[in-house]
Amino acid sequence: MIMDTRSCVKIKNEWDIVQARQLGRNLSKQMGFGQVDQARITTAISELARNIYLYAQTGIIEIEIVRNIEKMGLKIVAKDQGPGIKDIRQVMMDGYTTSGGLGAGLPGVKRLMDEFNIHSQVGQGTEIVAIKWLRRARAREGLTVDMDQGKGLEDYESMLINYIAHKKERTLYNGQKLSRKMIEHNVSPDEVVSMHIDVLNRLLPGLDERVRASFDFLLEVMVGYGFAYREHQSLRDRQLQLDAEINIAANVQQSLLEGTIPSCDFVDIGVISTPAKKDERRLLSICQGR
C-alpha cells in the first residue's frame, strides 16, 4: 500500500541532483511505473534539478504522489528564487540555450511527462510543475504510440526467439523491417530496449544479475538518446518549414522583379533584397551590369 507522500530535496550541488533522481526512482518504482516510465521520470527530474543548479544555484525539487478519482500520478515541482526566465516561449523551443547546452532540457521534460507548467518572473524565480500519470490500462508500458497495442512486442518477441534459436540472416532482415515500422510509429529507441529487456526476462528468468544491471544502464542511456533524437527531429522539421517559406518568398520576389535590366557600363543599377541570399545568381548578374 502506498502512502500519500511528498518529499523534497534541496538542490545546492551536483550530488543533490543524484539524490533527487534516486528519490524519483524509488517513488515511481513503488507506484508501479514500468521501467521506461521510471527512466523518463528520473531523466525529467535530473534535467529540472540541473537547471536549478546551473541557472539559479539553489532551489528545491518536490516529488509528490497525486491522485484523482480515476488515476494516480507522480508530480514533480522544481522551485527556485533565481534570475527567472524572461521569455518562456523562447526557452520552450528546441535548441534554445544560454549556456551552450543542447537546449533540449525543458522541451524534453515536457515531452517525457504528461503535464507541464512553467511560471517564472524575472528577478523572482521559476516554478515548474510536471506530472506523469500511471496508466494501468496500457497493454504494454513503453508502447505509448498508435502502434497496435502489444503487437510490436509480439513481433519483436517472436523474432528474437527465432533468431536466438536459428541465427538466420532472414530474421535479421525482418528485424530491420520491424525497425522501419517502429520509426513510422514514432517508437523511440528506449522503448525498443525496454521490449528487449521484457522479452529476455521472460525467456531467461535466471539471467545473470550483472547482465540485467547492464540493461538498466542501457535503458537510461537510451532514454537520454531518445530525448535528444526527438529534439533533433523537431529542429529538422522547423528547418524544412523555414526552407519552404524562404522558397515561397524567393518565388514571389522573382516574379515581382521580372523585367529587363538596362545595360550601362559605368554604373551598377538596381535595388534588390534577397531573402536569406537565396537569389545570389541574379544579384551577381545585376551587380555585373548584365
Q: Which grid coordinates are listed for 223?
A: 532514454
130 binds ligand ATP (CB under 6 A): no
Q: Print the binding letters for residues 37-66 with Mg ion: x by CB under 5 A, - otherwise.
A: --------------x---------------
105 binds Mg ion (CB under 5 A): yes
56 binds ligand ATP (CB under 6 A): yes
Closest CA to 80 of 125, 121, 14: 125
80 binds ligand ATP (CB under 6 A): yes
Cβ atoms of residues 84 and 54 within 8 Å: no
CA distances from 195 to 6, 154, 188, 218 (A): 32, 9, 11, 12
Q: Report the SS3 class of residue 21.
A: helix
Parallel, antiparallel, or unpaired for β 115-121 and 59-67?
unpaired
**Residue nearest to Mg ion according to CB distances in the complex:** 105
Residue 52's binding partner out of ligand ATP, Mg ion, none, with CB under 5 to 8 Å set by partner kind: ligand ATP
**Among residues 20, 23, 31, 106, the one that binds ligand ATP under rule CB under 6 A:** 106
> For the purposes of burial, counting CB atoms within 10 Å of the CB of 227, is it exposed (0-12), middle (13-18) or buried (19 or more)?
buried
**Among residues 7, 19, 26, 55, the one that binds ligand ATP under rule CB under 6 A:** 55
**Among residues 24, 73, 82, 226, the one that binds ligand ATP under rule CB under 6 A:** 82
Near ligand ATP by CB under 6 A, which window of 49-57, 153-161, 216-224, 249-257? 49-57
- Specify the DSSP element, H or E, that contains 62: strand 59-67
**Among residues 96, 215, 225, 229, the one that binds ligand ATP under rule CB under 6 A:** 96
- Cβ 86 to ligand ATP, closest distance in Å? 9
126 binds ligand ATP (CB under 6 A): yes
171 binds ligand ATP (CB under 6 A): no
Residue 234 and residue 240: Cα distance in Å, rounded? 10
* Total interface residues for ligand ATP by CB under 6 A: 21
Residue-wise DSSP of 167-193: --HHHHHHHHHHHHHHHHTT--HHHHH
SS3 content of the chain, % helix, strand, coil (to 5): 55, 15, 30
Binding site for ligand ATP (CB under 6 A): 47, 51-52, 55-56, 80, 82-83, 85, 91, 96-99, 101-106, 126
